[in-house]
Structures are given as structure tokens and as C-alpha cells.
Amino acid sequence: MITYLLSFLWLTACGQDRFENVDVEKFKSIINEPNVIVVDVRSAEEYAEGHLAGALNIDQGQDGFIKKAQESLSKDKTIAIYCRSGRRSALAANRLAKEGYKCVNMKGGIIAWKSANQEIVK
């Protein structure tokens, strides 16, 4: 029983997210800090419909996502990630965190951003 419990605890701890999930207000605060890169992980088409000012577009659904991220992003900076609803960006944040990036994911994505009446650019 103890072995089972220890195994369960170890697996649970290893499965936890390696990045921080934050709400729109916290995300807004973070992206205004120095040494932060904002990354939109939606498709190019979604990005063109409207995105956060200054956001890089690296589609997490495309082959070569990690390679492109490594070519574009510094591990010395915090990577503030978002997508449409927060699901794809959570996947991307986890993938990047495994590569050694410090990532912050916006819960609710650009949908939450717009709902909070925050500005987007086209």
C-alpha cells in the first residue's frame, strides 16, 4: 500500500504543469514588465484577425514549433503565451517549459482578453 501511495504521489507531482496560469489582469501586468516576450500560438489566420500588440506569432500546431521557438525566443526572458481560449497555449507553455523556458499562460486566451475590454491590434 505504501509503495502504491508513493508511486501515485510521484506520478502526480511529475504530471503537474511546469508553467504558471494567470488571469487577464495578471497577464496584462506581466506583459508590461521588461524581459517578457508575448507569444500568440494560434494560426496565422487567427493572428491576423486580431492579436495583442507586439505579440510574436508561433503556431503551436505546426510542425517545427519548438525549433521555431528556439530560433525566436530567449531562455533569459519570460514567455507570456496565449491562444484563443487558453488550451493550445497551455500545451505550448508545457512544451516550452520542458525545453527550459519560463512560461506564463493566460487563462481564457484572447476570448478572456476581449471580454475584459482589453485592446487588440490587426
pLDDT in tens, 25-68: 999 999 999 999 999 999 999 999 999 999 999 999 999 999 99
In a domain, 99, yes or no: yes
In a domain, 62, yes or no: yes
Residues 79 and 98: beta-carbon distance below 8 Å: no
In a domain, 7, yes or no: no
Tell the residue number behind the cell numbers 525549433, with chain if given: 67
83 is catalytic: yes
* Tally of structural domains, the chain: 1
At 34, which CATH number? 3.40.250.10
In a domain, 98, yes or no: yes
Residues ≥6 apart with Cβ < 8 Å to 48:
122
For 104, phi then psi, to 5°, come to -130, 130
* Residue 10: pLDDT band with limits 50, 70, 90: very low
In a domain, 104, yes or no: yes
Helices (H), 15-83: 24-31, 44-49, 65-72
Cell of 102: 519560463
Structure confidence at residue 1 (pLDDT): 53
Range of the domain at 94: 18-115
In a domain, 66, yes or no: yes
Average pLDDT over residues 65-78: 97
Tell the residue number behind the cell numbers 487567427, with chain if given: 46
In a domain, 95, yes or no: yes
**Choosing from 83, 96, 103, 106, which is the catalytic residue?**
83
In a domain, 122, yes or no: no
